[in-house]
């Protein structure tokens, strides 16, 4: 054992790697632990990002300079309603060119392919004025003028292959929403969310037919376009001064921040995903610490010999940190590969927007370095006991 240590000094292979290779079972255990921790972190971050993206898909797609919502609104799924006359009042403010209403509601619809009922978000908009920055939808606004006709999100969660093929081929597709029969007139693609399996877009009049108890004067969102020469800041201040306190007016960017803040600060789901990431980090720290601590203990005599030969503590600590860095890389690579596969499987099964941006991979790699480095720092405390007298 001692000879292996001394020979390692004269070879190019890092001593830390030789240490780890000496016990393959321990090495594989450490790699498996780090891989598991990284997968857990990747999945928690992926789910959290999917939550943020899916719950802000439609808010981001709104075509508006300013957005009006109820003062009691919590998020896109719980917007409450406000009086439509507030939109008419906003037209009296100089600089406001138009103000249109959007109706939102979730309901059960019968899957035309399987016959099963599932939750769908329904967006009712004025077919004369594009409300969403979705070119595919805006090219089919004429269809929304037809009674009981909807556009279907082909990225919805569930089995819809036959339905999509029929709509693309121009074959009429009918189904039921409540007590009404509706026709699927066209397709678009956005994606499912955590609260709904998909979405339908229709006209405001069709929406009110589907939701018979909804008052036409109670709207979910107000979208305002400003004159090109208008100062948005001045118009916004004028609207806030003139309109009663039952509504609030936000810029498009402020409204997106409003949605994100609710998810990150108010929603327990965001906290759960954050806690899951933290637990993955802790699991990795514990596993790597156990491996490195055991390695230090098993070679304490050799470390004491190095000190007797004149090597300083910094060199000995460097060996442990070298092992930590090697473990970081060896554990991260399989964790990344498995996480990529898990993302694809989850996205296919849930229709959630799960993807692996480069920034996330780099962040988790750096977090893995911190995880292993922190474990190494704790484990090196044992080296203070590496007295040369221990070899006798």
The rounded percent of the chain whose pLDDT value lies above 90 is 45
Co-location of 80 and 183 in the same domain: yes
Co-location of 9 and 93 in the same domain: no
Co-location of 383 and 311 in the same domain: yes
Range of the domain at 320: 2-54+269-391
Which two structure tokens, joined as six digits, stand for 377?
A: 């720092």
Assigned domain for 261 exists: no
Co-location of 381 and 321 in the same domain: yes
Determine which of 162-166, 188-192, 338-342, 346-350 has the lowest per-residue pLDDT on average: 346-350
Over 90: is that where the pLDDT of 254 sits?
Answer: yes
Which two structure tokens, joined as six digits, stand for 304?
A: 């004491």
Assigned domain for 59 exists: no
The arithmetic mean of pLDDT across residues 140-154, rounded, is 93
Co-location of 195 and 313 in the same domain: no
Co-location of 96 and 220 in the same domain: yes
Co-location of 174 and 276 in the same domain: no
Co-location of 94 and 219 in the same domain: yes
Over 90: is that where the pLDDT of 139 sits?
Answer: yes
| pLDDT tens digits for range 277-333 | 888 888 888 888 887 777 777 766 666 666 667 666 677 677 777 878 888 899 999
Assigned domain for 232 exists: yes
The arithmetic mean of pLDDT across residues 94-101, rounded, is 93
CA–CA dist 43, 48 (Å, integer): 8
- Burial (Cβ within 10 Å: 0-12, 13-18, ≥19) of residue 183: middle
| pLDDT tens digits for range 114-132 | 889 999 999 999 998 889 9
Assigned domain for 84 exists: yes
Assigned domain for 249 exists: no
Structural domains counted in the chain:
2
Co-location of 228 and 82 in the same domain: yes
Mean pLDDT for all residues in the chain? 85
Does the pTM surpass 0.85? The reply is no
Co-location of 289 and 207 in the same domain: no
Residue 200 three-state SS:
strand
Torsional sign, CA 380, 381, 384, 387 = negative
Q: Is 115 left (phi over 0), alpha (psi -120 to 50) or beta?
A: left
Co-location of 233 and 199 in the same domain: yes
């Amino acid at each position: 054992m001692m000879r292996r240590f001394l020979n390692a000094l004269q070879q190019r292979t890092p001593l830390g790697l030789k240490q780890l290779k000496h016990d393959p079972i321990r090495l594989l255990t450490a790699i498996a632990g780090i891989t598991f921790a990284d997968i857990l972190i990747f999945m928690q971050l992926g789910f959290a990002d999917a939550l943020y993206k899916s719950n802000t898909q439609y808010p981001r797609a709104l075509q508006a300079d300013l957005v009006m919502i109820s003062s009691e609104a919590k998020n896109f799924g719980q917007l409450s309603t406000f009086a439509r006359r507030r939109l008419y009042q906003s037209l009296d403010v100089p600089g406001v060119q138009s103000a249109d209403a959007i109706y939102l509601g979730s309901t059960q619809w019968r899957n035309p392919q399987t016959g099963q009922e599932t939750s769908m978000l329904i967006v009712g908009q004025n077919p004369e004025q594009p409300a969403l920055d979705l070119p595919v939808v805006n090219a089919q606004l004429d269809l929304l003028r037809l009674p009981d006709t909807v556009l279907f999100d082909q990225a919805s969660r569930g089995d819809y292959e036959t339905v999509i093929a029929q709509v693309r081929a121009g074959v009429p597709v009918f189904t039921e929403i409540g007590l009404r029969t509706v026709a699927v007139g066209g397709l678009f693609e956005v994606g499912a969310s955590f609260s709904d399996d998909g979405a339908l877009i229709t006209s405001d009049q069709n929406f009110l037919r589907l939701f018979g108890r909804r008052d036409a004067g109670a709207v979910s969102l107000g979208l305002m376009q400003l004159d090109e020469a208008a100062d948005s800041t001045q118009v916004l201040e004028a609207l806030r001064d003139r309109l009663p306190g039952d509504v609030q007016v936000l810029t498009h960017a402020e409204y997106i921040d409003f949605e994100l803040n609710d998810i990150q600060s108010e929603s327990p789901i965001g906290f759960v995903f954050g806690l899951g990431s933290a637990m993955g980090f802790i699991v990795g720290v514990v596993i790597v610490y156990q491996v490195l601590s055991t390695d230090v203990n098993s070679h304490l005599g050799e470390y004491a010999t190095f000190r007797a030969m004149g090597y300083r503590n910094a060199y000995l600590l460097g060996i442990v940190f070298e092992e930590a860095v090697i473990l970081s890389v060896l554990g991260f690579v399989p964790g990344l590969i498995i996480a990529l596969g898990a993302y694809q499987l989850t996205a296919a099964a849930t229709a959630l927007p799960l993807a692996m941006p480069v920034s996330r991979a780099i962040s988790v790699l750096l977090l893995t370095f911190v995880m292993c480095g922190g474990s190494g720092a704790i484990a090196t405390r044992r080296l203070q006991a590496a007295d040369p007298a221990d070899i006798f």
